[in-house]
Amino acid sequence: MTTIANILLFARQRLPSSETAMLDAHMLLCRVLATGRAYLLAHPEHVLTPEQAAQYADWINRRAAGEPVAYILGEAGFFDRDFRVTPAVLIPRPETEHLVEEALLFIQQQPHISAADIGTGSGAIAVTVAANAPRVTMHATDVSSAALTLARHNAAQHGVNITFHQGHLAQPLITAGITVRLLMANLPYIASDELPKLDVSKYEPHLALDGGSDGLRLIAELLEAVPQICQPGALILLEIGADQGAAAAELAQQTLSPQFVSLIKDYAGHDRVVRIQLAP
């Protein structure tokens, strides 16, 4: 007989010790039982069916091997909603919410603008901004057809209207003659030689992680395209790695000679978003 108490003991023994190990165990069990965490704590004697126990054991073994919970469950929370995710896209992270917050502040001042999310992946940025600012005309690009299929699903799930374009960085917008007043991107920013050393590389797509020799290759390429896709006075928001702030800001200054460039820090106090304001 498998109870909540003894299957959580199994999870504790299987999962590597970490700050999130038991949170992960509880989250997976809540999904199996279709209940909340409070129920797990209040009813340790609850008996699982054999099917539930088998499903949970499989998920715990996958988590013990390092597979992210978001891929096991097929969804991840971001900002104010949940998004479907698969190994075809990067898992949305809380750090990226700083970019969304800054975008929404900018939109408050001019709500009828056009915007673009370059390298949209799951669509988390584009969908969240579009859902919170429905008067914005939103475009999103990605080179991956699998990512765009997922992003379209997430857009439909949250009832937002986004025009998706397949292609490399901003090239689809350039080809279509589209210009925007808000440009957003969370592009790959991990240096190629660092990527194999990181756990994130074991499950998440290298296409969404590898930023070239210095981690800034794609960011530099996008900045070169800015004069073709951004309107005067446009705001550009780019997520970066924690140690890339100074280099990314200098790159923006050299490439665009903008009105100003600033850095936004994440919850841990690291540089996380480059904010570039073009001259009117």
List pLDDT tens digits, range 228-253: 999 999 999 999 988 899 999 999 99
Same domain, 143 and 237: yes
Domain co-membership, 249 together with 127 = yes
Identify the band that residue 208 occupies on the pLDDT scale cut at 50, 70 and 90. confident
Is residue 245 assigned to a domain?
yes
Same domain, 135 and 178: yes
50 and 109 assigned to the same domain = no
In a domain, 82, yes or no: no
Look at residue 75 and tell me if it is in a domain: no
Average model confidence (pLDDT) across the chain: 92
Confirm whether 105 is domain-assigned: yes
- Per-residue pLDDT of 98-155, as tens digits, reads 999 999 999 998 878 999 999 999 999 999 999 999 999 999 999 999 999 999 999 9
* 34 within a domain of the structure (yes/no): yes
Q: How many structural domains comprise the chain?
A: 2
Model pLDDT, residue 189: 79
* pLDDT over 90 (residue 33): yes
CATH of the domain at 147: 3.40.50.150
Domain match, 181 and 230 both: yes
Alpha-helix runs per DSSP H in the chain: 4-14, 21-33, 37-42, 50-64, 69-73, 97-109, 124-132, 145-157, 171-176, 217-229, 245-256
Q: Are residues 213 and 103 in the same domain?
A: yes
**How many C-beta atoms surround the C-beta of residue 173 within 10 A?**
24
Q: What percent of the chain has pLDDT over 70?
A: 99
State which residues form the domain around 223. Answer: 89-277
Are 252 and 276 spatial neighbours (Cβ–Cβ below 8 Å)? yes
